[in-house]
């Protein structure tokens, strides 16, 4: 059972919300619009489509007490890659992430890559080429301390943590790319390149495109 306690101060633009449930207590400040949304969904177990999404967000749904699911795209660029505590400046392909948050905690996350200039429903999905990711796209966070997620924008911190995380060979597979190289050789191949060579990406087997990913994850029955 969950209970919601609201504290409103006269003239204040925000409302203090305390949510008590079996897993603990959540406290946060929300504005009056968010309060309206909270009251509208608090009596329903269903997820509803989020009307206005921040830039880079492909799709999203909000559920009971602010729980949410979203698909987010990030354009490929050069980043520092931490491989066994040594950092290499290499290009990353454009990535699409799926996140599911419940009680402010990240409970599910996936990552794939895509080649199209902008993200479309028909954009084909490819395997993430490096380690820290299972064959079905699930992200392994290892010993990373994940932040509490009170709003959609907090997902940006999670993505930054993903790209900054240390990587080893535990989940790496030479079949992640058409080069079929070990991860250390793949990294050396990419060092000095400005753009990730998308021709080496391999189609994934979990979802063929963005539309299918949305159907499998956003439209799943709770």
Domain ranges of the chain: 1-43, 45-217
Can you read off the two tokens belonging to residue 103?
């009680």
How high is the pLDDT of residue 3?
A: 56
Instruction: Give tens-digit pLDDT for 99-109.
Output: 999 888 999 99
Res 42 pLDDT > 50: no
Instruction: Flag whether pLDDT at 195 surpasses 60.
Output: yes
Helices (H), 22-133: 32-41
Q: What is the mean pLDDT of residues 125-143?
A: 96
Most confident residue range from 20-24, 58-62, 66-70, 95-99: 95-99
Instruction: List, in order, residues 6 or more apart from 145 with CB less than 8 Å away.
Output: none
Where residue 85 falls (left for φ over 0; alpha for ψ -120 to 50; beta otherwise) is left
Whether the CB-CB separation of 113 and 94 falls below 8 Å is answered with yes
Q: Is 96 helix (H, G, I), strand (E, B) or coil?
A: strand
Confidence of residue 1 (pLDDT cuts 50, 70, 90): very low
CB 178 within 8 A of CB 199: yes
């Amino acid at each position: 059972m969950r209970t919601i306690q609201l504290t409103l101060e006269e003239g204040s633009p925000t409302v203090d919300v305390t949510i008590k449930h079996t897993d603990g207590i959540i406290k946060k400040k929300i504005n009056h619009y968010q309060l309206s949304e909270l009251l509208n969904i608090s009596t329903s177990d269903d997820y509803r489509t989020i009307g206005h999404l921040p830039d880079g967000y492909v799709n999203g749904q909000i559920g009971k007490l602010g729980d949410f699911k979203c698909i987010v795209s990030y354009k490929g660029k050069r980043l520092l890659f931490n491989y066994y505590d040594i950092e290499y400046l290499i290009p990353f392909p454009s990535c699409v992430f799926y996140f599911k948050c419940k009680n402010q905690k990240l409970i599910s996350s996936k990552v794939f890559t895509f080649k199209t200039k902008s993200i479309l429903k028909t954009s084909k999905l490819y395997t993430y080429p490096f380690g820290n990711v299972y064959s079905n796209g699930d992200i392994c966070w290892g010993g990373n301390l994940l932040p509490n997620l009170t709003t959609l924008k907090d997902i940006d911190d999670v993505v930054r943590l993903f790209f900054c995380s240390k990587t080893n060979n535990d989940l790496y597979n030479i079949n992640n790319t058409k080069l079929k190289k070990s991860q250390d050789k793949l990294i050396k191949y990419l060092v000095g390149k400005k753009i990730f060579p998308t021709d080496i990406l391999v189609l994934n087997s979990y979802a063929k495109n963005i539309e299918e990913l949305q159907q499998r994850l956003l439209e799943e029955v709770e």
